[in-house]
Amino acid sequence: MAGRKNVKRVLAHCAGDMDSYHSTAGVTEFRPGFEKAEIVFVSGSYNGSTMTENDMAVDINSGDKGFKGTLDPSGTRHSSFKYIIENFASADDQLALSEVVRYIDTVDAYGPQTSDILGIPRHMSRLFQTISINGIMRGLQALYNGSDRKVYGMVKENFRAMLAYGRHMTSPKKGHRPKKDAHNDPKNIKLFKKLLYRFTTGEEREMISRAVMRYFHTVENFGAKASEQLNIPENFRDMFIAVSILGLVAGYRILYRGNSSKVKRRIRENILAMVAYCKQGVEMRK
Confidence of residue 32 (pLDDT cuts 50, 70, 90): very high
Q: Which residues are paired to 30 by β-bridges?
A: none
Rounded to whole angstroms, how far apart are CA atoms 246 and 131? 8
| CA dihedral of residues 196, 197, 200, 203 (deg, nearest 10) | 110
Rounded to whole angstroms, how far apart are CA atoms 55 and 6? 10
Rounded to whole angstroms, how far apart are CA atoms 285 and 279? 10
Q: What is the pLDDT of residue 176?
A: 42
Q: For the chain, what is the mean pLDDT?
A: 87
Q: What are phi and psi of 41, to 5 degrees?
A: -100, 125
What mean pLDDT do residues 123-133 have?
Answer: 86
Q: What is the pLDDT of residue 4?
A: 57
Record the pTM.
0.91
More confident of the two residues 46 and 3: 46
SS3 220: helix
Rounded to whole angstroms, how far apart are CA atoms 60 and 12? 7
**Of the segments 46-50, 149-153, 215-219, 226-230, which one has the largest average pLDDT value?**
149-153
Q: How far is CA 120 from CA 42, 109, 110, in A?
A: 34, 16, 14
Confidence of residue 121 (pLDDT cuts 50, 70, 90): confident
Q: What is the pLDDT of residue 36?
A: 95
Which residues are within 8 A (CB) of 248 and not within 5 positions of it... i.e. 6 or more apart? 133, 136, 158, 161, 162, 165, 266, 267, 270
Asked if 84 and 100 touch (Cβ cutoff 8 Å), the reply is no
pLDDT in tens, 227-239: 777 778 888 888 9
Q: What is the pLDDT of residue 104?
A: 97
Asked if 228 and 237 touch (Cβ cutoff 8 Å), the reply is no
SS3 56: strand
Any alpha helices (H) in the chain, and if so which ranges? 18-30, 80-88, 91-96, 98-110, 114-118, 125-131, 133-143, 148-170, 186-199, 202-222, 226-229, 234-242, 245-255, 260-285
Asked if 108 and 18 touch (Cβ cutoff 8 Å), the reply is yes
* β-strands 38-42, 9-13 pairing: parallel
More confident of the two residues 115 and 64: 115
Confidence of residue 284 (pLDDT cuts 50, 70, 90): very low
- The candidate with the shortest Cα–Cα distance to 260, out of 183, 194, 172, is 194
Q: What is the pLDDT of residue 272?
A: 95
Q: What is the pLDDT of residue 175?
A: 45
SS3 161: helix
Q: What is the pLDDT of residue 156?
A: 98
SS3 61: coil
**Residue 87 confidence (pLDDT) above 70:** yes
Rounded to whole angstroms, how far apart are CA atoms 162 and 242? 7
pLDDT in tens, 253-263: 999 998 999 99
Q: 9-23, 50-64, 140-154, 212-226: lowest mean pLDDT where? A: 212-226
Report the percentage of the chain scoring pLDDT > 70: 90
What mean pLDDT do residues 105-111 have?
Answer: 95
